[in-house]
Structure 1
Amino acid sequence: MGIRGAAVSTLPMGVCALMCHVPKLIEEGIIDADGFPTKQQMIKLSPTMPAYNTTHLLWPTVGDRHSQQSIFRFLNECTQATKLADWVLCNSFYEIEPSAFDLVPNILPIGPFLPGTRHGRLEGNFWPEDSTCLSWLDKKPACSVVYIAFGSFTIMDHRQFHELALGLELSNHSFLWVVRPDLTDGSSDAYPDGFEARVAGRGRIIGWSPQQKVLAHPSISCFLTHCGWNSTMEGLINGVPFLCWPYFADQFYNQTYISDIWKVGLQLKPDSSGIISREEMKAKLDELLGDEDIRARSLKLKQTAQENVAEGGSSFKNFNNFIEAIKLKKC
C-alpha cells in the first residue's frame, strides 16, 4: 500500500546476523529445514565474533520439538519481514558488536535503550514493581549489594532454587533478590527451612524491581543475571559487573560476549548433575567482587554506552537521522 515501515529488533546483532544466515546454514547442512542442528558443533559467522554452539541456538533450547519448529519458523518469518522495512532499529551500539554490524549493515543501532528514564509510568511489566527496595538500598554502603534477577521467563526446579538461596547465604554478601511468583515450579515452601530468618539482616527479597533504577544505584556491586539482552544493556550502561547464568535462547550467546569478549563478568558453571552449587556461587561471587580489572572494564564500557546515547553520540545521531527522514517523507 506504499506505507513506509520501521522495525525494531530487541535481539543482539550477532543473533540477527545468525538469523540472516539461516538459508546458508541449511545449505551447508549445519541445520535442517526445520532448524534443528544436524550435530553438536561450534560455528562462527566471523573470526572476531563469539562462536555459536548449535545446541544453544535460539530455538533448540525451548520446549518440545513441535514448539521448537514453531519458534524457528516464526523467527525466520520475522527476519524475512524486516526486509520490507525502510528502517530497522536495534538496542545496541557499534563498539560492542562491530563484526555483527558488518554482517547486517542496514540496521541502525540506537541503544542502549533506557526505559527507566522515561517520564510518567513505565508500562508493560508483568508484575507490580516494588520500589521500596530503593530506600532499602539507600541504607547500604557503596558497591556492597549483589542484585539477582532472572527476567520474565526463567523457571528453576526446587533443588536449584535451594542451591541458589544457600549460595547467597554462604557468600555472606548483602543481596537484593527478585523472586517472581512463578520463578519456581509452584512450590509454596520454595525457600530452605529457616533461610529467610537467617538472611533477614542483609537480604531483601521482592517480586519485581524497577531494574534500571536498581542497577544505577551506587550500592549495587554486581548483577547475577540470566543474560537477557535488555538486562545486559541495562547492566552495561550502569557499569555493573555480571555474574552470568544463561537459561535459554540468545542468553548463552550474550554470556559469551559478557565473559569472553567484553570481559566484564564471569560465568557460573554447573556440576556434573547440571546444578550450579552453592559453593560455585560463593567462589564466583568472591572472585568477581575482588577483580578490579573487571570493574575497570565495566566502567569503561559504561562511559562508551553513555557517550553513544548522549547528544552527538552515534546512537543519538542515528535516532535523530531516523526522525528527520520521517519528517522529510511524510505520507
Structure 2
Amino acid sequence: MNIMNQKGEHALHAVIVPTPAQGHVNALMNLAQLLAIRGVFVTFVNTEWIHERVVEASKKGKSLVSKDNLELEQQGWRIRFLSIPDGLPPNHGRTSNGAELMVSLQKLGPALEDLLSSAQGKSPSFPPITFIVTDAFMSCTEQVATNMSVPRVIFWPLCAAASVSQCYANFLVSEGFIPVNVSEAKNPEKLIICLPGNIPPLKPTDLLSFYRAQDPSDILFKAFLYESQKQSKGDYILVNTFEELEGKDAVTALSLNGSPALAIGPLFLSNFLEGRDSCSSLWEEEECCLTWLDMQQPGSVIYVSFGSIAVKSEQQLEQVALGLEGSGQPFLWVLRLDIAEGQAAILPEGFEERTKKRALFVRWAPQAKVLAHASVGLFLTHSGWNSTLESMSMGVPVVGFPYFGDQFLNCRFAKEVWKIGLDFEDVDLDDQKVVMKEEVEGVLRRMMSTPEGKKMRDNVLRLKESAAKAVLPGGSSFLNLNTFVKDMTMSKGLQSKNETM
C-alpha cells in the first residue's frame, strides 16, 4: 500500500527503541508524541517486561499505552506499541543486575528485526518503516537498520557533556582516563580537557560510574565500551538537551562521522506546556499529592525523589529523614517500595507522627506537575538527567544526591557550571558514605533561606525561560526537530527514487 500524508508526500514511519528503563522510555515517549504531531507514524518498541509494567501502572490514569488498544489514533496521530522479550527470565532482577540486562539487550537484533517484519502486514494503515530512532545504549539496532536499509538515528538521553564522554570512552581508555581512578578526582592536573565540543573540563568521577571498575574484564565495563563503539555508527544524532544550555559544539561533537547532530530538548516540556499527557510511568502516580501541595505556602515545599532505580541504605534514609525534619520545611517524599536496598523504607521511630502536619509520603508522583506547582521550592534529587531537565524547566533549584551512571556529572554541573544547586560533600568519591542529618539539614537550610539559595533560584528561573523558548514555536529545539523531520522526508524521497530505478 502506498500511503501518502496530507501534502501528498510519502508518509514517514519511525521505529523508536528505548533502553528498558523509566527515564529512557519517558524521554522517547515524549519524542514519539512530537513526531506524531508532525505527521510521522510511530512504532514504539518496549521490552515485554517494561510494556506490562507501563500498562499496569496506567490502568488508573491517563496513558498512551493500554492493553486492549495498541494502536493509538488521537488528533490524527498514529502510534503503534509493540513489545519484545528481553531474553531474561520473568523473575530476573533487571534493574539490580544491569550487567546481565545489558548483555542480553545487545543480542536482541535478530528478534527485533523479526518483530518489525512480522508486524508490517498486521497494520495495513502503517506505511513501510523509513527510519529507526534508537536509544544510544541499544547497539542491537545497528544491524537491524543496515538489513532494513533505513537510517539509524541515535538518540542520546543524557546531557551533551555526558554523552560526549561516553561516545569517546574508548579514546579515554587509550588516554589512561578509564578505568577511572576515583582518588584523582580532586587533582586539578587530572582534569579531562582532551574531549571535543567545548564542554567544561571533566573530573574523573564525571565519567559514567560503570568505568570505575578496576578490572577491564568486568561485564558492565566491557558492555559500555562496546556500546561506545556502536554509538559512532549513526546516520543522524538527536540529543535531549537545548543549545542555550550546553552549546551547539557539544552536540556536534557527538557526530564522529559527519552526520547531522541536533539538540531537541527538553523533550517533555512542549508536551507539558501544551497539556499533552505522555504518562509512561512504571508506577501508578498518586496525583493526590497535588491537592496537598495546594495547601502549602508558595516556594516552601522540599520535593524528595531519588528516581526509579536508586536505592539507599536504611541508615542513609534515616539520616535524610532526620535532616528533613530538622530543616523545618514541609516536604513531599517519594518512597518507592524498593527504595531501602530493595525493601520498603523503615523511617525513624516517631518521625511520621512528628512531621505529619507538614509532610506527605507517596510511592510515586507525577513529577513534572509537582515541580511546576507554586508551593515547591527545592528538589532533593538523585540527579538523573530527566529529573535535572524537569527541575530547571520548572524553575526549581536542586540538591543533588547522585547514585550511579551520569548522575555524578549532572550533579556537579548543576552546582558548578549552571549554578542552580548544591550537593553533599564527597558523595561522588565514596558510594558507601552516609551523609549525616546535620549535613542534610544544613544544605537544605542554605538552599531555602539564605542569599546563596536565592541566587540559585534566580539562576534556575533564567534557565526555565530559556528552556521554554527553546521548545516553543520558533525556538532552537522546535526548529531543530522540524529540520530533522524534513531531512528524514528528503531521505525517504531519495530512497523511494532509488527503489524505482
Q: What is the CA–CA distance in structure 2 between the aligned matches of 1:55 and 1:82, rounded to whole Å?
A: 19
TM-score (norm 1): 0.89
- Work out whether 1:211 is the aligned partner of 2:211: no
Q: 1:103 to 1:329 in 2, by over 3 A?
A: closer
Task: Spell out the pairing of 1:121-270 with structure 2 (5 A cutoff).
Answer: 122-123=279-280, 125-186=281-342, 190-269=346-425
- Work out whether 1:94 is the aligned partner of 2:243: yes
Structure 2, unaligned runs of 5 or more: 1-146, 496-501
- Work out whether 1:21 is the aligned partner of 2:168: yes
Q: What is the CA–CA distance in structure 2 between the aligned matches of 1:121 and 1:318, rounded to whole Å?
A: 21
Equivalent in the alignment of 2:266: 112
Aligned residues of 1:30 and 1:39 also touching (Cα < 8 A): no
Q: What is the CA–CA distance in structure 2 between the aligned matches of 1:166 and 1:38, rounded to whole Å?
A: 29
Q: What is the CA–CA distance in structure 2 between the aligned matches of 1:81 and 1:95, rounded to whole Å?
A: 28
Aligned residues of 1:82 and 1:88 also touching (Cα < 8 A): no
After TM superposition, give the deviation of residue 55 of structure 1 in Å: 8.2
Aligned residues of 1:40 and 1:55 also touching (Cα < 8 A): no
Aligned residues of 2:242 and 2:477 also touching (Cα < 8 A): yes
- Work out whether 1:9 is the aligned partner of 2:171: no
Q: 1:48 to 1:84 in 2, by over 3 A?
A: closer
Q: 1:151 to 1:36 in 2, by over 3 A?
A: same
Q: Which has the higher contact order (CA 8 A, sep 6+)?
A: 1
SS in 1 for 2:218: helix
Q: What is the CA–CA distance in structure 2 between the aligned matches of 1:57 and 1:245, rounded to whole Å?
A: 15
Q: 1:321 to 1:240 in 2, by over 3 A?
A: same
Q: 1:218 to 1:183 in 2, by over 3 A?
A: same
Equivalent in the alignment of 1:310: 472
Aligned residues of 1:11 and 1:91 also touching (Cα < 8 A): yes
Q: What is the CA–CA distance in structure 2 between the aligned matches of 1:143 and 1:9, rounded to whole Å?
A: 33
Q: What is the CA–CA distance in structure 1 between the aligned matches of 2:276 and 2:165, rounded to whole Å?
A: 35
Q: Computing the radius of gyration over CA atoms, which structure comes out larger, 1 or 2?
A: 2
Identity %: 33
Question: Which of 430, 440, 463 is residue 281 of structure 1 equivalent to?
Answer: 440
Return the letter of the residue paired with 1:114: F
Question: Which of 179, 184, 200 is residue 49 of structure 1 equivalent to?
Answer: 200
Q: What is the CA–CA distance in structure 1 between the aligned matches of 2:206 and 2:235, rounded to whole Å?
A: 33
Q: What is the CA–CA distance in structure 2 between the aligned matches of 1:284 and 1:253, rounded to whole Å?
A: 19
Equivalent in the alignment of 1:298: 460
Q: What is the CA–CA distance in structure 2 between the aligned matches of 1:260 and 1:303, rounded to whole Å?
A: 20
Q: 1:328 to 1:214 in 2, by over 3 A?
A: same
Greater mean deviation of Cα atoms: 71-80 or 152-161: 71-80
- Work out whether 1:69 is the aligned partner of 2:218: yes
Q: What is the CA–CA distance in structure 1 between the aligned matches of 2:374 and 2:169, rounded to whole Å?
A: 43
Aligned length: 325
Q: Deviations over 1:191-216 (max 9, x none)?
A: 11011111110000100010011111
Q: 1:326 to 1:259 in 2, by over 3 A?
A: same
Return the letter of the residue paired with 2:254: V
Q: Deviations over 1:274-328 (max 9, x none)?
A: 2211111111111111222111111001101111101111100110111112222
RMSD: 2.6
Aligned residues of 1:37 and 1:55 also touching (Cα < 8 A): no
Equivalent in the alignment of 1:80: 229
After TM superposition, give the deviation of residue 270 of structure 1 in Å: 5.7
Q: Deviations over 1:142-190 (max 9, x none)?
A: 1010000001111111111100111111111000000010100355661
Aligned residues of 1:50 and 1:253 also touching (Cα < 8 A): no
Greater mean deviation of Cα atoms: 21-30 or 42-51: 42-51
Equivalent in the alignment of 2:499: none
Q: 1:294 to 1:54 in 2, by over 3 A?
A: closer
Return the letter of the residue paired with 1:274: K
Aligned residues of 1:223 and 1:243 also touching (Cα < 8 A): yes
SS in 2 for 1:84: coil
Return the letter of the residue paired with 2:436: S
Aligned residues of 2:242 and 2:470 also touching (Cα < 8 A): yes
